[in-house]
Amino acid sequence: MSKSYVVVTYDVCEHNDLYEDMNEYILDSSTDMDEQVKRFAEQDIAPLVKVYETASSDFGELTLYKEYKFKEFECGCE
């Protein structure tokens, strides 16, 4: 069975103790992963994006595969 990947975008603000998941997306295996993740981060204005890997078709058991941080989307509050 082939592996599938799920992307989760997160809103993070350390000053307000905020760490909240926003949206989930399924990666298209025929397209570059980094480009897709960047597009999802831009769409959600997400400073943190995590990619999870699963070997099952029902996405029951997810394992963290890779984490991306986007400084340009970090909150500007102090």
List of residues 6+ apart from 55 with CB closer than 8 A: 1, 3, 4, 61
pLDDT at 42: 97
CA 9/CA 32 separation, integer angstroms: 17
pLDDT at 1: 56
- Indicate the pTM of the whole model: 0.88
pLDDT at 22: 96
Q: For 13-66, how does the pLDDT look when each residue is reduced to its tens digit (9 = 90+)?
A: 988 888 899 999 999 989 999 999 999 999 999 999 999 998 866 667 889 999
Bridge partner list, 24: 8
CA 51/CA 56 separation, integer angstroms: 15
